Amino acid sequence: MRLDTVRLPWNSIGLLAVLLALVLLFSVLSNYFFSALTFRTLLNQIPALTVIAVGMTYVLLIAGIDLSVGSVMALCAAVAGVLLAQFGWSLWLAVPAAMLTGLACGALNGYISARWRISSFVVTLGMLEIARGGAYLVTDSQTQYVGNAVGIFGATLPGLGVSISLIIALLVVLAAQFVLVKTVFGRYMVAIGTNEEAVRLSGINPIRYKIMVFVLAGLLTGLGGVFQLGYLQSADPNAGLGLELSAIAAVVIGGTSLSGGRGSVINSFLGVLIIAVMQTGLAQLGVSEPSKRIITGVVIVAAVVFDVYREKFSFINAGKKLS
């Protein structure tokens, strides 16, 4: 409750301001940007990235990192895709199977890194390769066309035109923020990211919570895979290349610290929106792909520089009080 509710609104307001400024900027620069169609398209692209960024926020909070989300998402989508397209499973079995796949990958990441104290960077880098290989194996390197079998995950809300997936993703964001700020589990994530040894010596086993965080991140990646499958109505074993970097970028833009102990799910979601608005807006302006990437890169670095500066500034203020 305390630490984050005080700091959070300010950050959120800042991010929201950046987001609105971007929307305004693109609306002025492009005739097509400010339209229901653009926003609908934009919003229907982000559910997968959103839920994955939620998991990534948790992982960064405990001072870990998960590089495997892109390929794990592809693997999960592939599992669901193959089960639907080739084995004719019902959606209500294929979806849990996909999510369980993600959960299993996350459990492995968490168990190996937390139990044996191996850097999660290395473990998830390994998982990045393993899951990608798995996705090729499962699909036999063929894109799996699923079509209408994706059911409600491909459906949109009548009238609004936004997908069911987006609604689910938004609910996940809200639930995850609640868990972070209001529950024991959330408190422990922040505490572990702040000082793991202090947590251990207060009689809490941090390993258990660290594994749980990776399991959750895996589960959410599985859900992201299902969203992706629903959006494209197919499972491509090459899907999600570089997605881990987009997710980390969104979370970092949202102000989550890479060294752990500080972060907010809501702000990560705002980070996702900022990235998506930039991508769409720049595309509509006819900015070439290389330039788009350069601009995105600059924004990420600028966001972090700003954040570090702000942190330093508040530290100086804190220092003044201290003495």
Which residues in this chain contact other proteins in the complex, by CB under 8 A?
A: 1-3, 6, 182-185, 187-188, 190-191, 194-195, 197-205, 261-262, 318-323
Tokens of 247: 């997710």
Nearest of 32, 63, 66, 35 to residue 51 by alpha carbon: 66
Closer residue to other proteins, CB minimum distance, 16 or 204: 204
**CB-nearer residue toward other proteins: 90 or 202:** 202
Nearer residue to other proteins within complex by CB, 92 or 321: 321
With respect to other proteins, which residue has the nearer C-beta, 119 or 183? 183
Least CB distance to other proteins at residue 247 (A): 25
The answer to whether 211 and 33 have CB atoms below 8 angstroms apart is: no
Instruction: In angstroms, give the least distance from the CB of 12 to other proteins.
Output: 17
What is the rounded CA–CA span in Å between residue 218 and residue 226? 13
Return the number of other C-beta atoms located less than 10 Å from residue 13's C-beta. 11
Q: What is the DSSP letter of 61?
A: H
Q: Which is nearer to other proteins, 27 or 195 (CB)?
A: 195
Residue type, 300: I
3-state secondary structure of 144: strand
* Residue 233 beta carbon to other proteins: minimum distance, rounded to whole angstroms: 37
Nearest approach in angstroms of CB 310 to other proteins is 15
3-state secondary structure of 65: coil
| Minimum CB–partner distance for residue 60 and other proteins (Å) | 15
Run of H or E residues at 117? none
DSSP assigned state of 35: S
Query: From CA 87, how far away is CA 97, in angstroms rounded?
Result: 13
- CB 181, min distance to other proteins, A: 9
The Cα–Cα gap between 103 and 226 comes to 13
Q: Which is nearer to other proteins, 183 or 288 (CB)?
A: 183
Neighbour count for residue 99 (Cβ, 10 Å): 22
Q: How far is the CB of 148 from other proteins (least distance, A)?
A: 38
Q: Alpha-carbon distance 191 to 198, whole Å?
A: 8
161: left (phi over 0), alpha (psi -120 to 50) or beta: left
Q: How far is the CB of 225 from other proteins (least distance, A)?
A: 28
- CA 126 from centre of chain: 19
Nearer to other proteins, 2 or 117 (CB): 2
Pick the closer one to other proteins by CB: 48 or 176: 176
